[in-house]
């Protein structure tokens, strides 16, 4: 290891002149801490478990307690001895690792070591480097030296001991001001005051220079008013709502016991006693902590109503800590070493400089036929702007713009500015600058490639600064592509690329395109097809080059043979790329979210979607158990909105390949969610669960969805569209679209249907709009689906208790039409779970335990009789007082009236509460 004037290489042990660094307070057997100029560096060994010889807890327990906020520039490097998805994509669940990662994130520390970097035994990664955000631009990963006798490779990285000289600045969030709690009255006054102080004129603007000057000064006016009327957001560590004085006392007791256990004792027996006492105190604290956090979590879940339920998604699917971009591989095969180099490589690959030829200036004609900008148009545009839409460098959000527009002084000046912009066809320079955010594409095998990232350009026109590793680079001009967010961007791209589609047809291919994703197909023998595709691809690249653009020949380029043969003989025929590279045919390609294999049987796509849906159900699994958690309607909404779309995307393409086994897997996945929706026991029959939750069986829903999509397409596309013939065949063959009137409507494409005239009380023929045709036709489909579901329920229901009390209720997926709908929407999880148990007979009753041979002290009620739902509600002599209100609802104590009506269920809730107590 060498020490230079500006850089200091860290290999794992600290060597160097003493005037460079000093040993620090936090140094013990498992940790060495040094202070190098303004940087605190901690080298750690995190022992897996305390032992008798070394009873001290893991090193991170010490760091959590001792490392305070004042250490803003800190590096923690060493053997973490932990596995976590943050540095190993295949790592499984690990509570200790989760706690360490959470603590590191809370202290604004980011991973420096590349993800999935094999360091230990060339198999895994446990030797890590984390650094403070303030140091990210000064730390770079150098590489791994495997020439060592140890089972650990040597990890090398560099720290620059001086501040960066490349002009980078620390990026501060655009939400640095607390806009949510702004003093809007003061904001309005400050706007008027700033307009007066800056002497902002209110005259018509006659040139583009005047437009630039006015736009700049008005932006400063708004920013000053924001600064004076809004408090700065203070970034604080995560607040634990469940933390209380009792937990604090138990923690202090556990820490005191731990300190005593580490001290010398007069005898070995006393030493062991102290160690056991420390373990016991820690166990008590951990147990209390889990109970408190669980109670707070359940309280939070039960409080969510309406649109608030979507807040839970950030807990269900937390974002990974992908703030740090790993080092990028250059064209020469070496890795970048600085943030500036990473930014340069990504910019060069994704936003290359392109020569667009001679710049042309166009004069804007003042055409009197063009309508002038009106106040109402600006009001409408602002009204459609989201309040929290991502702002640029100025931090001005949609909410701020709306409130500023209410100020009379600012409104007049802004309106004249906008009128001038429209008149001159000019966009002010101050509005052209923005930020480019680099986002990793999900599930890419190699994140050292620039193409593994996506750039989001929050720019209005032609220049931006790139945000990377929480640092913003210098402003650069953009000459590539079209502005993101512009409503005419798709049209501009279609105009630009349409000639290529016509050319592909002339070259013998059939093109399909969706924005910039182009698919080219040819038919014939495999060898001939491959040569033809190679030829077309080369011509496409030449076409693109002649028009100052480029076709990506990297990993995104897919090549596949579709064939009926399971093992085609010529499948190894290779595609020749324009650069001379040979590309092997793939077994699968992904096209607009649909996975296609060479047999086009969609098996891999269907199974992949089912597995993804199962994971999504698993994510909401803990949101509602039998007695605790979110309201039933909230869990149901999450399932419908977050799980179903995963499975049903592209259903019209692959539905005909779904087999019985795959439908069964879909039903199993859905059944997991059904139990959580209604708080049911595992033994509850599936048919009962479906009816209680108002969720249609997938065996019926798939057919309904396909028929509905076919009808919608048929009624909304041109009559001459060739796809109509396929749609009619699909509708005719659909098992759920059997009604002659439905088929004839689609086949004849009539513009009318029989509609009841409410005034004349008779039927007559009258024209219907396209939307009315669609609604009525889909209504017929839905009615058929419900009837088929009801028939399936009657044929499959073997639960006589539930069958008898719900005999008058029909299957429906409309929550407002369900008897238990109000309970699911408004009552607690506990009440819903109790109602479900009494309605289904599967629950905490002695008869249920006895039926499934589950051991219990007694299967009988306190009165001595077998404990059943009927016994509890009707027969038990110990509950006569509690039963009075039930008899008021139904003097005959009819189970259907009590358990299948809203008034009865509401009284049952009170009865159960008294019975349980």
**Per-residue pLDDT tens over the stretch 108-118:** 777 877 777 77
Give the per-residue pLDDT at 670.
92
| Model pLDDT for residues 836-856, shown as the tens digit of each residue | 999 999 998 999 999 988 988
| Model pLDDT for residues 788-841, shown as the tens digit of each residue | 999 888 887 667 888 888 888 889 989 888 888 888 888 888 889 899 999 999
Residues β-bridged to residue 596: 589
Q: Decide if 763 is inside a domain.
A: yes
Q: Decide if 235 is inside a domain.
A: no
Q: How many residues does the chain have?
A: 917
The residues, any chain, with a CB within 8 Å of residue 78's CB and separated by 6 or more, are: 12, 42, 43, 44, 45, 46, 127, 128
Shared domain check, 775 and 877 = no
Instruction: Please give the share of the chain, as a percent, with pLDDT higher than 90.
Output: 15
Q: Decide if 911 is inside a domain.
A: yes
Residue from 543, 546, 542 nearest 579 by CA: 542
Tally of domains within the chain: 5
Shared domain check, 104 and 37 = yes
Judge whether residue 736 has pLDDT over 50. Answer: no
| Model pLDDT for residues 504-557, shown as the tens digit of each residue | 999 999 998 887 788 999 998 888 899 999 999 999 999 988 887 788 887 788
712, 775 in Cβ contact below 8 A?
Answer: no
Shared domain check, 796 and 869 = no
In this predicted structure, which of 364-373, 882-891, 907-916 has the lowest mean pLDDT?
364-373
Could you tell me the CA-to-CA distances from 700 to 668, 687, 734, 736, 781 in Å, in that order? 15, 13, 11, 8, 11
Give the per-residue pLDDT at 505.
92
Q: Decide if 676 is inside a domain.
A: yes
Give the per-residue pLDDT at 913.
84
Shared domain check, 144 and 32 = yes
Structure tokens at 401: 């713009």
Decide which of 316, 347, 377 is a domain's last residue.
316
Shared domain check, 864 and 782 = no
Give the DSSP letter string of 140-178: EEEEEE--SSSSBPEEEEEEESS---S--EE---TT-B-
Residue from 228, 222, 180, 196 nearest 405 by CA: 222
Judge whether residue 54 has pLDDT over 60. Answer: no
Which comes out higher in pLDDT, residue 696 or 462? 696
| 139-145 β-sheet, strand order | 7-10, 154-160, 139-145
Cβ-based neighbour number of residue 474 at 10 Å? 12
pTM across the whole model: 0.68
Highest averaged pLDDT of the listed ranges 86-90, 174-178, 368-372, 893-897: 893-897
Q: Decide if 859 is inside a domain.
A: yes
Shared domain check, 771 and 701 = yes
Judge whether residue 127 has pLDDT over 80. Answer: yes
Q: Decide if 564 is inside a domain.
A: yes
Q: 269-287 burial, b if ≥16 CB within 10 A, otherwise e?
A: eebeebbebbbebbeebee
Shared domain check, 755 and 703 = yes
User: Dihedral angle at the C-alpha atoms of 676, 678, 684, 685, nearest 10 degrees?
Assistant: -100
| Model pLDDT for residues 221-272, shown as the tens digit of each residue | 999 999 899 987 765 555 577 888 898 899 889 888 888 887 888 888 888 8
Give the per-residue pLDDT at 175.
46
Shared domain check, 140 and 30 = yes
Judge whether residue 735 has pLDDT over 70. Answer: no
| 39-45 β-sheet, strand order | 21-23, 31-36, 39-45, 74-79, 127-132, 109-111
Which comes out higher in pLDDT, residue 746 or 438? 438
Give the per-residue pLDDT at 328.
82
Shared domain check, 784 and 687 = yes
**Average pLDDT score over residue span 711-721:** 74
**Average pLDDT score over residue span 848-874:** 90
Domain that holds residue 155: 24-159
Shared domain check, 149 and 51 = yes
Give the per-residue pLDDT at 744.
41
**Average pLDDT score over residue span 312-318:** 65
Mean pLDDT score of the chain? 78
Give the per-residue pLDDT at 712.
78
Give the per-residue pLDDT at 445.
73
| Model pLDDT for residues 152-207, shown as the tens digit of each residue | 777 777 777 665 444 444 444 344 788 888 899 999 999 999 999 888 888 889 89
116, 126 in Cβ contact below 8 A?
Answer: no
Structure tokens at 734: 């659909």
Distance of alpha carbon 167 from alpha carbon 416, whole angstroms: 37
Give the per-residue pLDDT at 57.
60
Q: Decide if 892 is inside a domain.
A: yes
Instruction: Please give the share of the chain, as a percent, with pLDDT higher than 70.
Output: 76
| Model pLDDT for residues 752-761, shown as the tens digit of each residue | 334 444 444 4
Q: Decide if 906 is inside a domain.
A: yes
Judge whether residue 51 has pLDDT over 90. Answer: no
Judge whether residue 674 has pLDDT over 70. Answer: yes
Shared domain check, 794 and 841 = no
Rg from Cα positions in the chain: 34
- Per-residue confidence at 485, pLDDT binned at 50, 70, 90? low
Decide which of 552, 569, 597 is a domain's last residue.
597
Decide which of 159, 186, 207 is a domain's last residue.
159
Shared domain check, 768 and 721 = yes
| Model pLDDT for residues 748-789, shown as the tens digit of each residue | 444 433 444 444 444 444 556 667 777 777 888 888 889 999
820, 692 in Cβ contact below 8 A?
Answer: yes
């Amino acid at each position: 290891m060498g020490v230079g004037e500006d850089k200091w290489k860290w290999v794992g042990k600290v060597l160097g002149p003493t005037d460079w660094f000093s040993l620090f307070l936090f140094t013990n057997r498992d940790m060495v801490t040094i202070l190098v100029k303004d940087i605190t560096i901690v080298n750690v060994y995190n022992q897996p478990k305390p032992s008798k010889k070394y009873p001290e807890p893991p090193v991170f327990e010490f760091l959590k307690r001792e490392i305070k906020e004042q250490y803003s520039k800190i590096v923690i490097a060493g053997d973490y001895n932990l596995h976590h998805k943050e540095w190993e994509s295949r790592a499984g669940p690990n509570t200790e690792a989760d706690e360490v990662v959470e603590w590191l994130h809370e202290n604004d520390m980011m991973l420096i070591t590349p993800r999935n970097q094999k360091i230990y035994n060339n198999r895994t990664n446990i030797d890590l480097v984390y650094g403070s955000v303030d140091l990210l631009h000064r730390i770079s990963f150098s590489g791994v030296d495997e020439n060592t006798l140890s089972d650990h490779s040597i990890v090398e990285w560099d720290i620059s001991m001086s501040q960066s000289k490349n002009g980078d600045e620390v990026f501060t969030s655009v939400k640095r001001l607390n806009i949510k709690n702004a003093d809007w009255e003061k904001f309005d006054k400050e706007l008027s005051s700033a307009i007066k102080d800056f002497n902002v004129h209110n005259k018509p603007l006659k040139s583009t220079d005047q437009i630039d000057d006015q736009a700049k000064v008005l932006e400063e006016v708004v920013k000053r008013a924001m600064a004076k009327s809004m408090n700065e957001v203070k970034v604080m560590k995560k607040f634990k709502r469940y933390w209380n004085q009792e937990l604090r006392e138990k923690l202090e007791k556990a820490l005191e016991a731990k300190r005593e256990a580490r001290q010398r004792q007069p005898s070995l027996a006393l030493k062991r006693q102290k160690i056991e006492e420390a373990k016991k105190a820690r166990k008590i604290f951990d147990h209390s902590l889990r109970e408190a956090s669980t109670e707070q979590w359940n309280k939070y879940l039960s409080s969510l109503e309406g649109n608030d339920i979507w807040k839970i998604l950030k807990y269900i699917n937390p974002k990974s800590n992908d703030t740090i971009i790993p080092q990028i591989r250059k064209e020469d095969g070496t890795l970048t070493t600085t943030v500036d180099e990473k930014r340069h490589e990504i910019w060069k690959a994704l936003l290359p400089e392109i020569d667009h030829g001679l710049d042309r200036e166009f004069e804007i004609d003042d055409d009197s036929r063009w309508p002038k900008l009106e106040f109402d148009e600006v009001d409408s545009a602002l009204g459609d702007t989201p309040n929290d839409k991502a702002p640029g460098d100025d931090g001005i959000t949609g909410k701020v713009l709306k409130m500023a527009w209410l100020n009379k002084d600012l409104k007049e000046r802004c309106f004249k500015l906008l009128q001038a912009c429209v008149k001159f066809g000019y966009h002010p320079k101050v509005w052209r600058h923005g930020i480019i955010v680099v986002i990793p594409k999900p599930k890419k095998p190699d994140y050292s490639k620039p193409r593994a990232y996506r750039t989001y350009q929050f720019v209005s026109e032609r220049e931006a600064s790139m945000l990377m590793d929480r640092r913003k680079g210098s402003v650069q001009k953009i000459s590539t592509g079209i502005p993101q967010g512009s409503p005419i961007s798709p049209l501009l791209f279609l105009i630009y690329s349409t000639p290529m589609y016509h050319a592909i047809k002339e070259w013998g291919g059939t093109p399909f395109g969706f924005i910039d994703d182009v698919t080219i197909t040819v038919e014939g023998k495999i060898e001939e097809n491959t040569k033809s595709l190679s030829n077309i691809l080369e011509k496409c690249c030449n076409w693109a080059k002649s028009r100052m653009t480029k076709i990506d020949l990297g990993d995104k380029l897919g090549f596949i043979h579709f064939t009926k043969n399971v093992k085609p003989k010529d499948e190894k025929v290779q595609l020749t790329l324009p650069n001379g590279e040979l590309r092997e045919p793939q077994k699968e390609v992904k096209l607009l979210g649909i996975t296609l294999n060479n047999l086009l049987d969609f098996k891999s796509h269907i199974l992949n979607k089912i597995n993804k849906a199962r994971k999504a159900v698993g994510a909401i699994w803990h949101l509602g158990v039998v007695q605790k958690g979110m309201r039933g309607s909230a869990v149901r909404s999450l399932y419908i909105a977050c799980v179903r779309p995963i499975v049903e995307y592209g259903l019209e393409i692959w539905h005909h390949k779904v087999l019985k086994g795959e439908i069964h897997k879909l039903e199993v996945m859905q059944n997991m969610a059904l139990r959580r929706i209604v708080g049911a026991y595992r033994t509850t029959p599936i048919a009962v669960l479906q009816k209680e939750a108002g969720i249609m069986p997938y065996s019926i829903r798939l057919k309904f969805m396909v028929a509905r999509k076919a009808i919608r397409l048929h009624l909304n596309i041109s009559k001459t569209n060739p796809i109509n013939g396929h749609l009619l065949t699909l509708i005719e063959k659909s098992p759920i679209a059997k009604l002659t009137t439905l088929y004839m409507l689609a086949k004849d494409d009539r513009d009318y249907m029989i509609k009841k005239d409410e005034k004349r009380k008779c039927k007559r023929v009258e024209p219907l709009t396209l939307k009315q045709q669609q609604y009525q036709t889909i209504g017929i489909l839905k009615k058929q689906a419900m009837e088929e579901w009801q028939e399936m329920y009657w044929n499959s229901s073997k639960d006589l208790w539930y069958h008898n009390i719900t005999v008058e209720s029909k299957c429906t997926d409309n929550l407002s039409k369900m008897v238990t709908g109000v309970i699911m929407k408004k009552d607690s999880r506990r009440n819903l779970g109790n109602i479900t148990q009494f309605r289904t007979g599967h629950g905490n009753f002695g008869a249920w335990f006895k039926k499934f041979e589950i051991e219990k002290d007694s299967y009988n009620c306190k009165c001595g009789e077998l404990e059943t739902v009927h016994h509890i509600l009707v027969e038990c002599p110990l509950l006569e007082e509690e039963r009075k209100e039930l008899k008021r609802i139904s003097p005959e104590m009819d189970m259907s009236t009590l358990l299948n009506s809203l008034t009865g269920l509401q009284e049952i809730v009170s009865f159960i509460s008294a019975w349980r107590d």
